[in-house]
Structure 1
Amino acid sequence: MRTKLIFSSFLPLIAAAGMIWYGAHVRSHDASTVTPDADNAGLKLPDGFGALKAADNLGRARHLAVTSAGDIYVKLNRAVDGKGILYLHDDNGDGKMDQTQGFGNYPGTGMYIKNDYLYASSNTDVYRYKLDANQKVVNQNAPENIVTGLINRRQHESKSLVLDNEGNVYVNVGAYSNSCQQQDRTKGSLGREGCPILDSAGGIWQFKANKIKQTYGDGVRYATGLRNVVGLDWNQQNNQLFVMQHGRDQLHDLFPDLYTVQQSSIYPAECMYAIKKGDNAGWPYIYYDQDQHKKIVAPEYGGDSKKEGSNKFIDPAAAYPGHMAPNGLLFYTGSMFPERYKNGAFIAFHGSWNRAPEPQAGFFVVFQPFKDGKPFGKWEVFADGFAGSAANVTSGRAEHRPCGLAQGPDGSLYVSDDNKGTIYRIVYNKK
């Protein structure tokens, strides 16, 4: 009886201690404890939204993933002090990352969490790390190498990745060419018949998520005719892969008799594709003209800027202005943002370099509304101001360039910057 009395007398203290621990554990991702920066981290956002810099000066931060506890894993395009992956932790729940640890001695872009594993890519391989109950990596120095030997010709070499719900990983292998010319980026050079690049690049490959040392022979060329995909995501609403393609360059430079400088500045479109197994998006044989709303035969393959391409190539799900470099795609499934954002897509446009004499463009995150798993209505700029000023946008000398997107457990939107290594966190606080 005495033991029972003593134990019962401590119950209130135990309960209180439990609540204190629980509060400390969850507040790192509780939006009510997060205060946006006074200047919203320099961003321009819709009414009711705020932003803070969760981390800064990390290096060339590419894609990122946020755990259920609110910790962040970031992939670096260049390893810093021999570390290509950063783990960030918020000690006090204010939204600012206080701890930074590094591991993974390789550069790259891809980063994704699925089924208690962290997946990361170099420019040739895909690795996975086991996560414990707190979603911390347990094998930092001994990841499983699940895909190896993907081609890297130092052009469009990033291997972005995403996973489905059936145990498959999808990896972009970008084309090491602008338009598969006989002489790459050479005026008047015609296209290579049958474009041999497509045998090992210019598409999306599917591999098993739990099998080690897979090579091209173990994988499936899931989709082809995609020049380069950096932003991709799995649409849970219709259980389908969506990708953002970087369109080709230099229409005027390579074929000045067919295209004006102005046309070359704005065409072709940057395209969103809804991908099914076996799809062909048409690169290098066609490009998409967002004003004519048509697939146009590429000049390297007999096009004249007006001749329409074959219907064997799929149409884009949505098209955006040219040369803005879509590097991140995220379907929003959270509940923090207003209902209109639910199941819609955020796209991070890294920004252009080749729109002269037109002003450069991009350097923002846009929102694309969706309905029933398809784009519905016009896209809109959601987060702007990364470049620092209008003059920086025009010249292309942006202070920050949005690259990766991730959703936090509370519904926050995280944006990485691969110029100065800033991680932005966007929250919604309007009552």
Structure 2
Amino acid sequence: MVGIRYTIWAFAASMPQAIAQSCANINPAQAATFASGYSGRVVMNGLRTPRGLIFDNEGNMLTTEQGGYGVRYIQLNDYGGTNVCVKSSKQLIQDSSINHGIALTPDGKKLFVSSLTTVWAWDYDGTTGTVSNKKTVVQGMNNGGFHRSRTLVIPRAQPDTLLVQRGSQDNVDTPAAQQSTGRSMIRAFKISSILNAPADYLAGEVLAWGLRNTVGVGEHPNGGIWSVDNGVDDMQRAGRDIHHTNPCEELNYHGQVNNTADPERGGHHGYPECYAVWDPSVIPNAAQLGLTVGTPFVMGNPGGSNTDAMCQARKAPKLCFPSHTAPLDIKFNRNGTAAYIPFHGSWNKSPPDGFRLSRVNWNPATGMPVEPSTSTTAAINIMYNANTGTCPNRCFRPVNVAFSPGGKLFMTSDTTNEIWVIGGPINEA
């Protein structure tokens, strides 16, 4: 009995120490302001321009580093809430051409990473943090250095499919009006096929086109594919400069990925001729022409076949966000009640705008946003820079977000070389 009592006492005595374990505080490079109920802390700093962010099935974090490193493998200690810190970190793949896109098959065995021109695949072991058997799977995506990101998504509803995004060649890429350029679109590839023989980008199925620079692509729990698009810079209409508040940044829908008959699939979303209104007050004759928030319209001088009616016959955005705020990702919480969108921030307006993480409420029953397409308040800011006048040089700049297997939300900030964990009602309706 004495031995038993001693064992119980020793175990009980050790409990306060275990419970009290916590992570060392890392001061953020730039302080963040949080909406009521939300909080956050820096999990890791000292990275090299972190961009893409995913978790493997073991709960390890993988990020692409645009600053010349490649892919980093990070093991975490999680003591509850935002009390999360790095247990170990190592370079998984060294390749200075890797710049953004990263995805894992749902079984956690195949890792896909992209560069400006190419998508590669590796066999991946999350337990040991190792890769092997590198293969080129998609190629032929050189844009001459403009819009370099190639976002990758493997939908859980269609796990043999790899979605690959490609942006425009220029601010206004006139040839992108033809699908044959392979620019400004999202294409779908059958993974089992491209692992056997690499495919040219033009060989993929067009899931959506007419998308200027859709860096953010995500899957709703119902299998619906959504994206956020970065609108054109320096916009004019009928001889008037309207670029400061137009066009909007778009939230677009591309149908359920496992339904080839979905009417949204393969849709043309307007670029390079068409955009959507954010601020009708500065557009000449907007009221007479019926131009309101979210209405597609033509840039420049309407005439001939280049008309607003032509634009309105194409796919309109489901929601709009303020111009030049640069949304770069969209991820849904586990019950489909919210999407989280990081806005990287503007260079084409003064004062600067964006530089924040926002929540958009969703109706899980319909699979659609709660707010109508004409809303200007759908994006609820939960983490932001209090003074965007100091941006971009003295701000955090969100790039990607990712949910851990346990449902926690993490975010990369490329200018401050940090990864944050965000606390609050992330998975609540």
TM-score (norm 1): 0.77
Question: Equivalents in 1 of 2:361, 2:171: separation in Å?
Answer: 30
CA deviations on 1:109-159 (whole Å, 9 max, x unpaired) are 1112222122211111112232336373332xx423221222332111210
Equivalent in the alignment of 2:99: 108
**Which runs of 5 or more residues in structure 1 are unaligned?**
1-8, 21-26, 182-191, 335-341
Question: Equivalents in 2 of 1:383, 1:306: separation in Å?
Answer: 39
- 1:427–1:410 CA distance, 2 compared to 1 (3 A): farther
Alignment of 1:66-105 (within 5 A): 66-79=55-68, 83-90=69-76, 95-102=84-91, 103-105=93-95
- 1:70–1:196 CA distance, 2 compared to 1 (3 A): same
Equivalent in the alignment of 1:224: 209
2:347 corresponds to 1:353: yes
RMSD value over aligned CA atoms? 3.3
Question: Equivalents in 2 of 1:205, 1:406: separation in Å?
Answer: 22
Q: What amino acid maps onto 2:352 in structure 1?
A: Q
Match of 2:161 among 155, 159, 168: 168
Q: What amino acid maps onto 1:201 in structure 2?
A: R
Equivalent in the alignment of 1:323: 324
- 1:328–1:310 CA distance, 2 compared to 1 (3 A): closer
2:384 corresponds to 1:384: yes
Question: Equivalents in 2 of 1:270, 1:85: separation in Å?
Answer: 29
8 A Cα contact 2:35 2:381, kept in partner: no
Equivalent in the alignment of 1:159: 150
Q: What amino acid maps onto 2:94 in structure 1?
A: G
Equivalent in the alignment of 1:248: 232
Secondary structure (helix, strand or coil) at the match of 2:227 reads strand
- 1:33–1:282 CA distance, 2 compared to 1 (3 A): farther
TM-aligned CA deviation for residue 399 of structure 1:
2.9
Question: Equivalents in 1 of 2:424, 2:399: separation in Å?
Answer: 21
Alignment of 1:187-336 (within 5 A): 195-196=177-178, 199-210=181-192, 211-212=194-195, 213-237=198-222, 239-252=223-236, 258-260=239-241, 263-275=242-254, 276-291=264-279, 292-293=292-293, 294-299=295-300, 302=303, 307-333=308-334
Secondary structure (helix, strand or coil) at the match of 1:175 reads coil
- 1:426–1:321 CA distance, 2 compared to 1 (3 A): same
TM-aligned CA deviation for residue 423 of structure 1:
0.2
- 1:158–1:397 CA distance, 2 compared to 1 (3 A): same
Question: Equivalents in 1 of 2:213, 2:393: separation in Å?
Answer: 23
Equivalent in the alignment of 2:41: 52
Equivalent in the alignment of 2:283: none
Q: What amino acid maps onto 2:330 in structure 1?
A: L
- 1:135–1:379 CA distance, 2 compared to 1 (3 A): farther
TM-aligned CA deviation for residue 216 of structure 1:
2.7
CA deviations on 1:255-298 (whole Å, 9 max, x unpaired) are 6x6223xx211100000100132200010111100341311112
8 A Cα contact 2:355 2:395, kept in partner: no
Question: Equivalents in 1 of 2:398, 2:45: separation in Å?
Answer: 13
Secondary structure (helix, strand or coil) at the match of 1:157 reads coil
8 A Cα contact 1:297 1:303, kept in partner: no
**Which runs of 5 or more residues in structure 2 are unaligned?**
255-263, 280-291, 372-377
- 1:34–1:234 CA distance, 2 compared to 1 (3 A): farther
Secondary structure (helix, strand or coil) at the match of 2:253 reads strand
Secondary structure (helix, strand or coil) at the match of 1:354 reads coil
TM-aligned CA deviation for residue 317 of structure 1:
1.1
8 A Cα contact 1:233 1:243, kept in partner: yes
Equivalent in the alignment of 1:136: 129
- 1:379–1:304 CA distance, 2 compared to 1 (3 A): farther
TM-aligned CA deviation for residue 406 of structure 1:
0.3
8 A Cα contact 1:37 1:51, kept in partner: no
Q: How many aligned positions are there?
A: 372
The structure with the largest strand share of the pair is 2
Question: Equivalents in 1 of 2:344, 2:302: separation in Å?
Answer: 29
- 1:333–1:274 CA distance, 2 compared to 1 (3 A): same
- 1:49–1:37 CA distance, 2 compared to 1 (3 A): farther
Q: What amino acid maps onto 1:230 in structure 2?
A: V
CA deviations on 1:58-97 (whole Å, 9 max, x unpaired) are 0111111123333210012231xxx311111235855221
TM-aligned CA deviation for residue 329 of structure 1:
1.0
- 1:90–1:159 CA distance, 2 compared to 1 (3 A): same
Question: Equivalents in 1 of 2:103, 2:369: separation in Å?
Answer: 24
Question: Equivalents in 1 of 2:168, 2:313: separation in Å?
Answer: 20
